[in-house]
Structure 1
Amino acid sequence: MISLNLTTLLLGLGLATAIFFLIRLDHLRLGHGAFWLLVAAAAAVLGAWPGLIDRLAALIGISYPPALLLLAAVMVLFIKSLQSDIELTRTERRLRRLNQRLALYEAERGERAERDNITE
């Protein structure tokens, strides 16, 4: 059991280190990195103290502790997916507005060019 705890702890710490490097290299935004750092910290904590999930499950009233872990993982991934969809929608809306502004700018520039050609 100690090797499993050590493996889980090392995986959590390794994930945290990888996330720090991704943030530092600007491959991952800080906001997204903070979420994944929390996931890595949770993995490290549960790896160091595996009985913690058993105690939490007993406290909540869940008789099979791995079910709590799976439920929590599904909920976290659901929330992350929802957050990503919200951000994608916001980005698409900004891009659409930017395209509309660019089209208006180009149309105005074309009208000016036509007026300048007529007056010459």
Structure 2
Amino acid sequence: MLTGQITSAILGAAIAGAILFLVRRDHLHGPYALWWLGVAAATFVLGVFPQVVVWMGNVTGIFYPPVLPIIVAVALILIRLLKLDIDRSRQERQLRRLTQKLAILEQELDRLGGSLPAASSDDELD
């Protein structure tokens, strides 16, 4: 049992270290880093204090406490996926609106007899 505790605690500390490294390198931004640091902290705490799982299992009425972290993890994954879908939908909506505004501005520019500079062509935007 002690080996599992040590492994879980090391895993939690390693996840926290990796998250801090990614934040420092600007590969991961604030709100996402907080989410993952929470995961790392939970992993560490459950590794150091496995009695918490047993206590939470008794409180929630789960008769086999080791399944509780799995249930919580699956629920958190589903919540995270829902948040990602919400963010993606918001970004797609913003992109559609920006595309429509750009089309309106290009039409207005054509109507006024102007032309776009060469740097704004679609090939150079990518």
Q: Is the shorter-chain TM-score for this pair beyond 0.5, marking a shared fold? A: yes
Give the structure 2 partner of residue 43 of structure 1. Answer: 43
Q: How many residues align?
A: 114
Superposed, 1:20-31 pairs within 5 Å as 20-31=20-31
Q: Secondary structure at the match of 2:113?
A: helix
Q: TM-score, normalised by structure 1?
A: 0.89
SS of equivalent to 1:28:
coil
Deviates more, 1:86-95 or 1:17-26: 17-26
Structure 1 ranges of 4+ moved more than 4 A:
none
Aligned residue identity for 2:58: A
Rounded to whole Å, the distance in 2 between the matches of 1:96 and 1:71 is: 38
Correspondence for 2:119: none
Q: Which runs of 5 or more structure 2 residues have no equivalent in the other structure?
A: 115-126
Question: 1:6-36 CA deviation, whole Å, 9 max, x = no partner?
Answer: 1110110110111111122221121111111
Identify the structure with the greater helix proportion. 1
User: 1:108 Cα shift?
Assistant: 0.9
- Measure the CA separation in 1 of the matches of 2:71 and 2:2: 25
- Gaps spanning 5+ residues in structure 1: where? 115-120
- The offset of 1:3, in angstroms, is 2.2
Which shifted more, 20-29 or 68-77? 20-29
Q: Which residue of structure 1 lines up, in the alignment, with residue 68 of structure 2?
A: 68
Percent identity reads: 41
Residue type at the aligned position of 2:69: L
